[in-house]
Amino acid sequence: MIYSDAYQGYRFSSDHPFNPIRLRWTYEMIEELGLLAPGELRGPEPASLEDLVQVHSLSYIREVQRLSEGGPIRDSSVLYGLGTEDDPGFPGMHEAAALAVGGTLAGARAIASGELLHAFNVGGGLHHAFAAQAAGFCIYNDIALGILALRDAGLRVAYIDIDVHHGDGVQEIFYRDPQVLTISFHENGRYLFPGTGSVEELGAGPGLGTSLNVPLEPFTDDASWLELFEAIVPPALASFRPDALVTLHGCDGHVLDPLADMRLSTRFYWQTAARIHEFAHEFAQGRWLALGGGGYELLRVVPRAWTLVWAEMRGTPIAEWAEVPPAFNARHQPVGTDPLPRLLVDPSGLVPPLDRQSEIAGRNRATLARLRQISPLL
């Protein structure tokens, strides 16, 4: 696991929803559950300028550095997606974003060299950043740089994104690359940022067919999302034959998350991590780089979801009735609010079915049918 308290520096403002305290709380929960053996925790080092220019334009990096040093917002800043409501800029922004990239690069390089089979950078997963534009709370695209490190080591890479938002930045960077498969499951862009990710976005040029998008209906539950996940991911991986998997475990599709409209539980994040672990060994010789991503219910959801991911990566069985450390809940219980969840895995009754659940599932199956019609991988 790759983590440092220095990740707390990636903080736009005190009231911005992208709050790095969720990373600290995830680390605390993992540690208190005894899921970190000696040597399993690694600290990141900032990515270098030489690293960053593999994906990002030098002029964009210089603008990030200028704002990071306290420079004023200019018209050019906004053209780069900086100084906006989503990405307002903050002192030390360049260093904080470069550290997130460095953590992902450390994991990718350790996997490429054979030092590790699995790595989890809890502070990574900034999938909306483009080559010369910030977007959606993302300054530098650590995922793209991690994929490049694996690809440049001669590995074909499959990227699987289950964050509730479309992985647009990663897709754009590799849209014409036949050595990188991108698969994004997300809430339909008609209803949610960034508004992209239709099934028709299949890649271009030599990369035609290596982008798969699965836009899901609002209020999709565990069962419907998992149905499409199982229908799409195994055949796509079998067709593409990757040498390494890179996965994004954004947990902002949880029913308690305030920024989206899905009805997932932590059981979903547990189950998908288990299946991805199986896919890594079945299709990619075990090579698996996992990243955090989105998640805006900072205390009740993110630490539990990512603890389950890490437990799966290290091969630690988790029982359905496994408890959150009581000391964790006692320490963090907000005054005057409902008790924090007691179990790591949400009980099945947490998300009662909607009257429209079968209709929603039917619309998702129609999306699957359309994707099967047009994708050469399925």
Q: What pTM does this model have?
A: 0.98
Give dist(CA 122, CA 144) in Å, integer.
16
pLDDT at 145: 98
> Where does the chain show beta strands of DSSP type E?
118-121, 157-161, 180-187, 211-216, 244-248, 288-291
Residue 151 sits in a domain of what CATH number? 3.40.800.20
Beta carbons of 133 and 173 less than 8 angstroms apart: no
Average pLDDT, stretch 214-218?
Answer: 98
pLDDT at 349: 82
Domain count, the chain: 1
pLDDT digits (tens, 9 = 90+) for 243-269: 999 999 999 999 999 999 999 999 999
Model confidence band, residue 353 (pLDDT cutoffs 50, 70, 90): confident
| Residues tagged active-site | 128
pLDDT at 38: 93
pLDDT digits (tens, 9 = 90+) for 18-47: 999 999 999 999 999 999 999 999 999 999
State the Cα angle at 324 between 307 and 313, rounded to 5°. Answer: 20
Closest-CA residue to 167 (of 152, 183, 156)? 183
Beta carbons of 157 and 179 less than 8 angstroms apart: yes
| Terminal C-alpha separation, the chain | 33
Is residue 336 pLDDT above 90, yes or no? Answer: no
Beta carbons of 144 and 170 less than 8 angstroms apart: yes
Q: Tell me which residue range forms the domain holding 345.
A: 5-374
pLDDT at 78: 95
